[in-house]
Amino acid sequence: MDNDANRAEHRHVIPNTTPYYLPVTREVAQAFVDDGRLPESSIERAALSVMLVLLAQEYSNAAISRLIFETHGLMTASSPEVAAAHLDAGRRGIAEPQRADALERLADKGVNFADPEDMQHEAWRDDDGRYAHAFQERYRQPMDSFQIGFDRADQIDEPATDADIPYDTPGADAQAAPRRTRLVMEGTRDQAVAAQVIAAAPDELVNLDAYAGTGKTHLLLAMAGGLAGGMTYLAPTVAHIHGFKIRAGGAAAGIQTVTQTVLANATAAAHARAARLRWAPRVIKTTQSLTAQTKIAGVPSIDARPPEAVLAIVHKALRAWCYSAAPALGQFHFARYVPYAAIDAKRWIEIGHRVWECMFAGLGTNDAGAAFDINTVHLVKWLAVRGAAVPDGYGTLLVDEAHDLSAPWRALLQAYRHGCVLMGDPYQRLFGHVPRATQAKTIVMSQSVRMGLQAAPLIDQTLAVAQERLIEFPLIGAPDRLTRHRIYRNRDELPGRALRVFGGGWALLEEALRIKAAGGRFRLVPASADEVVRLARAAISLHLGGDTYGRRSLGDFRSWSAFSQHLADTGQGSVARMIERGFGGDDIDALMAAQAEPGSEQVTLSLVQHCKNMEADAVVLSPCCYLVNRDGEPHSPVRAAYLAMTRARFEVWTPGDGLDRLKDAQRDFEVGAVKP
């Protein structure tokens, strides 16, 4: 291992410490440091004396309390003149340049200051008028026990599983008459308010906007576990359900769960039965090639594009339409993939309609015979266009990751007659517009239980760069957590153990190769590894002169010269030069094979879209986190930066010019200056 790797071995994250709150306000402390102004009270003078000690040394919280207790006794027994002379001498011992950031250096050590109201009411005193360590309890995250009354059914039908749902699945019986039950929960005030609103309107639509780390999962677990007979947890994937059940522990046995795919299949089966269709569409994968599909749907060549390239564009346009609320496929759905002025709109839309009809014509009703893929987003759009309804049998739906729901999904869930709670964080929706539930009760959870007070201003400053505020209230940091904001200017300053987040696959690839060359222990998040391999192999194939339409991951580039120029224009010319020097498939295989075993890595590398639901002691935002993604669909730079920052528990590392980069990138994103 070379020197860089050796240095990384020893750059560990500072262990989390519980912040300590000195019995003096920040204003009084700042006035003392800046101008030497002294407070009248002995407890404030004692706190300032201890503050001077803490600037030079670190102590445990218990030791700080002992120092304050003893110093308070000395200050009380001494004359004001002696106390003032002692403090003045201590202040003069701080070099002038160090005074400017004295309070920031204390915050970095986890030393904070008391609330003015607590000082006014002398909350620091015990019954004998002495300083009490119990004062620190006022700054611990309040977790209260509270009772919530719910109406719930005695029994609801077992929801569908991940097995295929046959066309003749019997309809769900009506739910039993509700009964009143009480749920005892422990949590923050935000969680209590959310639970009370949901309890008061079990059959209504509720929109819960919750910042990352505010305890949404804790609330969801408590409600789903305590009221398993009347609620169903709806998750995007099986992986989400697996993670949910791990966190639920023993309570998981009684929690009903369903994935979006299974619910879509069940809804399609119920709709097909009610409409007496000859076939119920479902999510299905095809084994047919693009060439075979072009023949099935009669896809022609257009503007020198072969049929396969035309079909690839049609698939993208259909997917864009499926995410939208538009009732019909239109010209604008093709605009990202075909120059707008060159679109023969009628012809492209006709081909799109023909492909869509073939997808849902039942040309293949099993995985071996399906003519086209039907993804969940396709099936939900088909259901929404037909006016289908989610069947009974699920009780109140607790919808996780609701910020990523497509517009058709939201339409289906808003019409569900047994109540729906849309739980999400709109700032975690990286791509596209954030739809809002209409006619819904909205609740906000803004009190963090993960990130400390020090990180809250960074988050608010980041979100303020965007024109639109998606959550009404700012994030409130946890008073008993310490989350430091670190700034780096070169790679050598970064912690050796961290989650490093990237905005694009090429930057991640280069960093992984760099760590491998240094002998470091690293691992890519699986989804990011797949993305990087796909990008790299597509670029290598293009350089070697292979087919262009088969490499949809590179967009509409048809020649290596055009693609290498694109890389150079976006500051990634080193990637093109690396491939031109012979970097190939064997090198990609070697990189993947060099990854550390799961759990033994020091550095985890992830694309920003793949780090959702992750947490790490330290998180490093790479410079490309602040750029609009040019490798695929453009993402919001502000939301990407927020998502990466909120993965951190103890440290957030950002580049020195991060805010300037973010402002420039967000401006480009909002005016549509960046072309994918």
Q: Please, are residues 157 and 172 in contact by the beta-carbon 8 Å criterion?
A: yes
Question: 27: exposed, middle or buried (C-beta count within 10 Å: 0-12, 13-18, 19+)?
Answer: exposed
3-class SS at 443? Answer: strand
Question: 611: exposed, middle or buried (C-beta count within 10 Å: 0-12, 13-18, 19+)?
Answer: buried
Q: What is the pLDDT of residue 340?
A: 60
Query: What DSSP string describes 260-319?
Result: HHHHHHHHHHHHHHHHT-S-----B-----HHHHHHHHT---BTTB-HHHHHHHHHHHHH
Indicate the pLDDT class of residue 522, thresholds 50, 70 and 90: very high
- In this structure, how many other beta carbons lie within 10 angstroms of the beta carbon of residue 399? 27
DSSP 453: T
Provide mean pLDDT across the span 29-58.
Answer: 94
pLDDT of residue 631 exceeding 60, the answer is no
137: Cβ–Cβ under 8 A, 6 or more apart, which residues? none
Q: What is the pLDDT of residue 472?
A: 87
Indicate the pLDDT class of residue 595, thresholds 50, 70 and 90: very high
Cα 539 to its chain centre, rounded Å, is 29
Provide mean pLDDT across the span 111-139.
Answer: 93
User: What count of residues does the chain have?
Assistant: 676
CA dihedral 623, 626, 628, 634 (to 10 degrees): 120
The tokens for 87 are 């403090």
CA dihedral 195, 198, 200, 202 (to 10 degrees): -140
Longest dimension (CA), the chain: 97
The pLDDT tens digits for 406-422 are 999 999 999 998 889 99
Provide mean pLDDT across the span 385-412.
Answer: 92
Q: What is the pLDDT of residue 675?
A: 43
Cα 263 to its chain centre, rounded Å, is 24
- In this structure, how many other beta carbons lie within 10 angstroms of the beta carbon of residue 251? 15
pLDDT of residue 238 exceeding 50, the answer is yes
- For residue 465, which amino acid is it? V
Q: What's the number of CA atoms in the CB half-sphere (13 Å) around residue 213?
A: 28
The tokens for 453 are 């007070």
Indicate the pLDDT class of residue 159, thresholds 50, 70 and 90: very low
The overall average pLDDT reported for the chain is 85
Question: If you average pLDDT over each of 16-20, 84-88, 174-178, which comes out highest?
Answer: 84-88
pLDDT of residue 236 exceeding 70, the answer is yes
DSSP 105: H
Q: What is the pLDDT of residue 303?
A: 84
Please state, in angstroms and rounded to a whole number, the distance separating the CA atoms of residues 382 and 535.
31
pLDDT of residue 518 exceeding 60, the answer is yes
CA dihedral 533, 534, 537, 543 (to 10 degrees): -130
Please state, in angstroms and rounded to a whole number, the distance separating the CA atoms of residues 483 and 646.
10
Q: Give, in order, the Cα–Cα distances in Å from 205 to each of 150, 411, 412, 423.
A: 16, 11, 12, 11
Q: What is the pLDDT of residue 228?
A: 52
Residue with tokens 């503050």: 51
The tokens for 441 are 């009760």
Question: 184: exposed, middle or buried (C-beta count within 10 Å: 0-12, 13-18, 19+)?
Answer: exposed
Q: Which residues of 486-524 are buried (b: 16+ CB within 10 A; e: fewer)?
A: bebeeeeebbbbbbbbbbbbbbbbebbbebbebebbbbb
Indicate the pLDDT class of residue 552, thresholds 50, 70 and 90: low
Find, among 386, 376, 380, the residue nearest to 410 by Cα. Answer: 380
Please state, in angstroms and rounded to a whole number, the distance separating the CA atoms of residues 17 and 369.
59
Q: pTM here?
A: 0.81
Please state, in angstroms and rounded to a whole number, the distance separating the CA atoms of residues 424 and 38.
48
Share of the chain above pLDDT 90, in %: 53
Please state, in angstroms and rounded to a whole number, the distance separating the CA atoms of residues 87 and 247.
51
3-class SS at 466? Answer: coil
Q: What is the pLDDT of residue 322?
A: 95
Please state, in angstroms and rounded to a whole number, the distance separating the CA atoms of residues 508 and 522.
12
Please state, in angstroms and rounded to a whole number, the distance separating the CA atoms of residues 357 and 353.
6
Higher-confidence residue: 140 or 206? 206
3-class SS at 580? Answer: helix
pLDDT of residue 177 exceeding 90, the answer is no
Indicate the pLDDT class of residue 274, thresholds 50, 70 and 90: very high
pLDDT of residue 426 exceeding 80, the answer is yes
Measured distance between the N- and C-terminal CA atoms of the chain, rounded to whole angstroms: 39
3-class SS at 616? Answer: strand
Q: Please, are residues 399 and 234 in contact by the beta-carbon 8 Å criterion?
A: yes
Indicate the helix (H) or strand (E) that contains 21.
strand 20-22
Indicate the pLDDT class of residue 151, thresholds 50, 70 and 90: low
Indicate the helix (H) or strand (E) that contains 179.
strand 178-187
Q: Please, are residues 643 and 430 in contact by the beta-carbon 8 Å criterion?
A: yes
Cα 473 to its chain centre, rounded Å, is 18
User: Among 59-63, 195-199, 511-515, whose mean pLDDT is lowest?
Assistant: 195-199
Q: What's the number of CA atoms in the CB half-sphere (13 Å) around residue 607?
A: 22
Find, among 401, 469, 465, the residue nearest to 210 by Cα. Answer: 401
55: Cβ–Cβ under 8 A, 6 or more apart, which residues? 94, 98, 102, 105, 106
Q: Are strands 178-187 and 144-153 parallel, antiparallel or unpaired?
A: antiparallel
